[in-house]
């Protein structure tokens, strides 16, 4: 019985190899055609060359794996960004802490002091960009969100003095070396978190980079003493 099972498994493996190897060979040929200018001449081969099964598998793997790794490295799991998104997953009366519905996003944007039209616009953009639970669903499943997006350059980026309070201009100047995206983040952080005197604490800059700023801003906006101004997206009255 054992010998019979082993022989059956070998037959199945052989049939799988017969089906898979031509596919791998085709993928190899296509990849060589697309990347031939990158390969040394010693690597080029013509259609008359014959390879054993393990050699064809090896050669195809050598070509495919770097491409897969490169793709995954540009769209990787970003803990800080996921932490920022998770703020919205806690807005429901009965939250699923891994999933953000459209209403969760809307509630979250309203809780940080934004006026309804602004909150609606931001929630719509967020779910169109990051939705990942089905073609007809707008929900976002946070653990599987993959993005190369960093927050103000990423944790510990730039020389931030946590004891200092930064003006809008100082924040944008601080992020200058990070390019236009980091400067846009700096302006967005200032618009979101600046206190009535127009300044943001250095400690809160670091919190934003780690994705931990949202709960503090929501707590700040609960009262009437620190209402977000209209021109920064706050309510009309």
Query: What is the full per-residue pLDDT of the chain (237 aa) written as tens digits?
Result: 544 444 454 454 445 444 544 544 554 555 444 444 444 444 444 444 434 444 544 444 444 444 333 433 334 457 888 999 999 998 877 767 789 999 999 999 999 999 999 999 999 999 999 999 988 899 999 998 888 888 998 888 898 999 999 999 999 999 998 899 999 999 999 999 999 899 999 999 999 999 999 999 999 998 777 888 888 888 876
Is 114 found in the same domain as 37? no
What per-residue confidence (pLDDT) applies to 223?
79
CB 199 within 8 A of CB 165: yes
Q: Measured on CA atoms in the order 182, 184, 203, 75, is the torsion positive or negative? A: negative
| Domain count within the chain | 2
Tokens encoding 157: 């980026």
Is 128 found in the same domain as 62? no
Is 217 found in the same domain as 195? yes
Q: Is residue 237 domain-resident? A: no
Is 217 found in the same domain as 108? yes
Q: Is residue 156 domain-resident? A: yes
What per-residue confidence (pLDDT) applies to 149?
81
Is 215 found in the same domain as 153? yes
Q: Is residue 208 domain-resident? A: yes
Is 138 found in the same domain as 102? yes
Q: Is residue 140 domain-resident? A: yes
What per-residue confidence (pLDDT) applies to 29?
53
What per-residue confidence (pLDDT) applies to 70?
40
Is 102 found in the same domain as 167? yes
Is 102 found in the same domain as 60? no
Last residue of a domain, one of 74, 109, 133: 74
Q: Is residue 110 domain-resident? A: yes
Tokens encoding 231: 């021109």
Last residue of a domain, one of 74, 94, 125: 74
Is 52 found in the same domain as 7? yes
Query: Which residue range forms the structural domain that includes residue 218?
Result: 79-232
Is 165 found in the same domain as 57? no
Last residue of a domain, one of 53, 74, 95: 74
Is 53 found in the same domain as 16? yes
Is 147 found in the same domain as 49? no
Per-residue H/E/C for the chain: CHHHHHHHHHHHHHHHHHHHHHHHHHHHHHHHHHHHHHCCHHHCCCCCCCCCHHHHHHHHHHHHHHHHHHHHHHCCECHHHHHHHHCHHHCCCCCCCCEECHHHHHHHHHHCCCCHHHHHHHHHHHHHHHCCCCCCCCCEEHHHCECCCCCCCCCCCCCCCCCCEECHHHHHHHCHHHHHHHHHHHHHHHHHHCCCCCCEEHHHHHHHHCCCCHHHHHHHCCCCCCCCCHHHCCCCC
pTM: 0.64
């Amino acid at each position: 019985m054992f010998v019979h099972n082993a022989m059956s498994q070998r037959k199945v493996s052989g049939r799988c190899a017969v089906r898979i190897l031509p596919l791998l060979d085709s993928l190899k040929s296509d990849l060589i055609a697309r990347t031939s200018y990158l390969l040394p001449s010693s690597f080029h081969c013509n259609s008359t060359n014959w390879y054993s099964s393990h050699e064809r598998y090896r050669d195809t793997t050598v070509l495919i794996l770097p491409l897969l790794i490169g793709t995954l490295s540009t769209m990787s799991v970003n803990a800080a960004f996921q932490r920022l998104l998770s703020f919205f997953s806690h807005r429901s009366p009965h939250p699923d802490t891994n999933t953000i519905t459209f209403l969760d996003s809307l509630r979250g944007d309203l809780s940080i002091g934004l006026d309804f039209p602004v909150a609606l616009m931001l929630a719509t953009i967020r779910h169109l960009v990051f939705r990942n639970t089905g073609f007809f669903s707008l929900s976002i499943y946070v653990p599987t969100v993959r993005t190369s997006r960093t927050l103000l350059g990423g944790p510990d980026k730039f020389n931030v003095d946590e004891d200092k309070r930064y003006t809008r201009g100082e924040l944008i100047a601080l992020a200058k070396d990070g390019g236009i995206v980091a400067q846009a983040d700096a302006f967005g952080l200032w618009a979101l978190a600046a206190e009535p005197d127009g300044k943001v604490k250095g400690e809160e800059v670091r919190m934003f980079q780690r994705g931990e700023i949202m709960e503090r801003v929501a707590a700040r906006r609960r009262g009437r003493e620190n209402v977000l101004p209209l021109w920064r997206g706050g309510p009309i009255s």
